[in-house]
Amino acid sequence: MEALGLPSKNGNDFTSKIHHTAEGPTDPRSNHSIQHKIVCVTGAGKGLGYHIAIAYAHAGATGLIISSRTKSDLDALSAELKTINPHIEILSQVCDTLKETDIIELAKATKERFGGRLDVCVANAGIISKYLPDGSLPVGLVADMDFERVIDINFLGTMRVARHFVPLLLESKQGAQAFVAITSVAAHGFSSSFVPVAYNVSKIALNRMVEHMHHDYHKDGLLSYAVHPGAVLTPQTQAHSLSKGDAWDSGESRAMEAHIAMIDNV
């Protein structure tokens, strides 16, 4: 993993056993602590965010706020959530985390729909730099012409969500509220040959921001988490491999499952 710019203590040996599927207490169906909770998930239209919302429905959440840039994705998710729990209350709203006005409107709608109640906010929306004309990911700062957009969505977008949803969490006072930012072990890497530098930088900045949130708000009852979800196969990551046996080839990627998360869930 050193060749990929990941430190030797990158988390692969943090536990003696690595799980690739939810089971036992990690299965949402077995987790009853979320029952009667109100949860918001941004970037819920596809990929990881889609399945985070489904997991909360299985765990018994009373209400779900789901957002993404694409209404048709949200409609499909809403329909699936209703098959899991016909009684779950869903607020589905298009929201681009690049636009603070969209986030303000989502927070306002959340407060109105659920009477000021919010227990968990999962800031999941994120992207990776656009592919180059040859189909490869950009390597290095010079090649990555998408740098600013990645930082704006992954880091500043999460900051904007926190700016307008942390007050809702703090006002709820229904026990301990939680803000969850989806990050990546790529934050600790320094090789952009596997993951573009903009993604790495956005995630390490996100980690430190969450540390600040913990320091600033834990006394008020807010739990702040930066969560590395593991390697996640999404529609975008399927195109990362360009040749058999490279780092993103399916066989090689399985060996990386404890190391890196690539998410495109806006």
Radius of gyration of the chain (CA): 18
Its pTM stands at 0.85
Residue 104, pLDDT score? 98
Token digits of residue 61: 């959440």
Residue 259, pLDDT score? 35
Burial label for 2, CB within 10 Å (0-12, 13-18, 19+), is exposed
Nearest to 180 by CA among 45, 37, 42: 42
Position 32, amino acid: H
Q: What is the pLDDT of residues 9-20, one digit of tens each?
A: 555 566 677 777
Residue 233, pLDDT score? 65
For 135-148, the DSSP string reads SPPP-STTT-TTHH
CA 113 – CA 104 distance, rounded (Å): 14
Residue 257, pLDDT score? 39
By three-state DSSP, how is residue 173 classified? coil
Q: Number of folded domains in the chain?
A: 1
Position 6, amino acid: L
CA 125 – CA 154 distance, rounded (Å): 7
Q: Does residue 50 fall inside a structural domain?
A: yes
Which residues in the chain land under pLDDT 70? 1-15, 231-266
Q: Does residue 2 fall inside a structural domain?
A: no
CA 154 – CA 128 distance, rounded (Å): 9
CA 244 – CA 124 distance, rounded (Å): 31
Residue 191, pLDDT score? 80
Q: Does residue 216 fall inside a structural domain?
A: yes
Q: What is the largest CA-CA distance in the chain?
A: 53
The terminus-to-terminus CA distance of the chain in angstroms comes to 28
Q: Does residue 112 fall inside a structural domain?
A: yes
Residue 265, pLDDT score? 37
- Measured at the CA of 147, the angle between CA 160 and CA 11, to 5 degrees, comes to 80
Token digits of residue 181: 């930012």
Under 8 Å CB-to-CB from 157, ≥6 apart: which residues? 97, 98, 123, 125, 126
Burial label for 17, CB within 10 Å (0-12, 13-18, 19+), is exposed
CA contacts within 13 A on the Cβ side of 257: 10
Residue 229, pLDDT score? 82
Map tokens 């600013």 to a residue.
Answer: 148
Nearest to 121 by CA among 91, 85, 152, 82: 91
Q: Does residue 262 fall inside a structural domain?
A: no
For residue 202, give its domain range. Answer: 32-255
Nearest to 84 by CA among 129, 127, 53: 53
Q: Does residue 8 fall inside a structural domain?
A: no
Residue 264, pLDDT score? 36
Q: Does residue 3 fall inside a structural domain?
A: no
Active site amino acids: 199, 203
Q: Does residue 14 fall inside a structural domain?
A: no
| CATH number reported for the structural domain that contains residue 57 in this entry | 3.40.50.720
